[in-house]
Structure 1
Amino acid sequence: MRPAPVDDVPPEDGLGGSGVLYELKLDGFRCLAFARGDGPPYLQSRSGRDLSADFPPVAQAVSRLPGGLVLDAELVAWRDGRFAFEELLRTRAAREADRIVLGLIAFDVLALPGGRDVRGLPLAERRRLLAEVLDGVPPPIQPVLATTERAEALGWVERLADAGVEGLVCKSAASTYRARGAGQVWVKYRPHDTVDATVTALTGTATRPRALLLALDDGRSVLSAPQLTPVQARRVAEAAAGRLGEPVTDPEHGPVHPLTAPLRAEVRIDTGRVLRARFVRLRGD
């Protein structure tokens, strides 16, 4: 299941009204961990690749779990007091040379020892089962930090931002586990900041722009996402009328309409390892 992005943390009676579980969102490799008894463990990436050989400490820990247990989890790295996604991209030898700490942070159980499929149970029950099967299991395998109290979860995000915590994953307590998509029963929230930026070009047409090429005041450049809404596109087209130069090809974004006189915009910057800028409005100054 993959959570859908949202701009705000849902209330405790949101996501269907059955209660919400708020979990820390960690920056790592999503994987399913299969404990196979006498067989070798299997760490399955989202693309289906086996990660076991690349992360032996985690694989060895999974091999000590009861056979038939399947966990949904995040494989993470820890360095200098914070989660360090970039360490996961290095070679196994480089991580071992620097003694990088690895972990498997479990947030769901899909099958119990012996192979009993529990995906059809509500999340609240699966979380109870997860706590039972991981009771007494030492690191590097740990359950994710979670709460049913919205205020507590927001406090975690604020206090743990410096440790590399990205945000929250919020889940309906009644949700079953569906292999494809999660609709709006699982959502993810990243804190964001609103900043000013300069619109330097438009994609799409002059009358129906799709996105804005933005220059942030710190020197970075980014294409706005997602696509502008019809109302936003109309307002941008009206403001850009008379300011558009001849179309050119941007080496990264393809055909664009550059602005001969810049527009200023307010954009929302999401935290995380990938720069994301969501258009909010044009500024009048």
Structure 2
Amino acid sequence: MRPAAVTVVPPADGLGGGGVQYELKLDGFRCVAFARGDRPAFLQSRSGRDLAPEFPPIAAAVARLPEGLVLDAELVAWRKGRFAFEELLHTRQARAAATDVVLGLIAFDLLALPGRDVRRLPLADRRRLLLAALADVPPPIQPVMATTDRAEALEWMDQLADTGVEGLVCKALASPYRPRGAGRTWVKYRRSDTLDATVRALTGPAARPHALVLRLDDGRVFLTTPRLTPVQAREVAQVAGPLLGPPATDPDHGQVHPLTAPLRAELTLTGRPPTATFVRLRGD
């Protein structure tokens, strides 16, 4: 099941009644973990590929679970007090050599118990079974932090922002597990950071620009997306027009209209890799 993106965390009655479970949204590799007894564990990625050979410590931990247990989970890396997605992209050998990198498997759903498919059960029942199944299981396998209290979930998200927690996944407590899609019974809310940046250039026609090339104070450069609305394009053209220099070719963004004087803008950064969305020009 894949949650749909939303811009607001739903209330407790916001996913069709029956209550909502709020879970921390983590930055890692989604996988379904199969404990297979005498056979090696299988860590199925979204594309169907087995991740077990790349993550032996996680595969070994899953192999110790009862045969027939199936978990829906996030494979994560932890380094220096933060979730470190980039460590998952390194080779197995590089991770093994990094003594400060810890791998984990954070389980957020239970799909099967030994000899029993539980996907048709409501999420509330699957959560109870998940906690029971993992009650005596040590790290690196852990259940995800979850609550039915929206205020508590928002507090967690704020308190754990510095650790790299991305946001919340919100699920109807009555929802079964549907392999072909979650519909609107599972949704994800992703935290966005609002920042100020310097406008370096405009793309598209100078009179109706399509996007802004922005430079953050930390040196990162972004092209805003999605395309500016007609109202935004008109306002940007009006303010930036007197500051534009001759058209130039940018190696990353093609033909642009560079600015010859500083102009500040507000944007939001969301997701991984970050996407920059234009909010407004700064009045100051």
Q: Secondary structure at the match of 1:60?
A: helix
Letter in 2 for 1:251: P
Task: Give 1:176-215 correspondences, 5 Å limit.
Answer: 176-206=176-206, 208-215=208-215
Relative to structure 1, the CA distance from residue 182 to residue 226 in structure 2 (aligned partners, 3 Å threshold; closer, same or farther) is farther
Deviation at 1:15, TM superposition (A): 2.8
Rounded Cα–Cα distance in structure 2 between residues aligned with 1:234 and 1:158: 36
Deviation at 1:261, TM superposition (A): 5.1
Query: Unaligned stretches of 5+ in structure 1?
Result: none
**Identity rate, percent:** 72
Is 1:81 the equivalent of 2:47? Answer: no
Deviation at 1:237, TM superposition (A): 4.2
Task: Give 1:1-285 correspondences, 5 Å limit.
Answer: 1-99=1-99, 100-114=101-115, 116=117, 118-206=118-206, 208-241=208-241, 244=244, 247-260=247-260, 263-270=263-270, 274-285=273-284
Q: Secondary structure at the match of 2:169?
A: strand
Rounded Cα–Cα distance in structure 2 between residues aligned with 1:131 and 1:74: 16
Deviation at 1:247, TM superposition (A): 4.8
Letter in 1 for 2:9: V
Deviation at 1:227, TM superposition (A): 3.4
Q: Deviations over 1:89-145 (max 9, x none)?
A: 2222232233432211000122332252x3343322322232232232222111101
Equivalenced residue count is 283
TM-score of the pair, normalised by structure 1? 0.85
More off after superposition, 258-267 vs 166-175: 258-267
More off after superposition, 231-240 vs 54-63: 231-240
Relative to structure 1, the CA distance from residue 218 to residue 84 in structure 2 (aligned partners, 3 Å threshold; closer, same or farther) is closer
Rounded Cα–Cα distance in structure 2 between residues aligned with 1:98 and 1:260: 45
TM-score of the pair, normalised by structure 2? 0.85
Rounded Cα–Cα distance in structure 1 between residues aligned with 2:95 and 2:49: 20
More off after superposition, 74-83 vs 180-189: 180-189
Rounded Cα–Cα distance in structure 2 between residues aligned with 1:213 and 1:22: 36
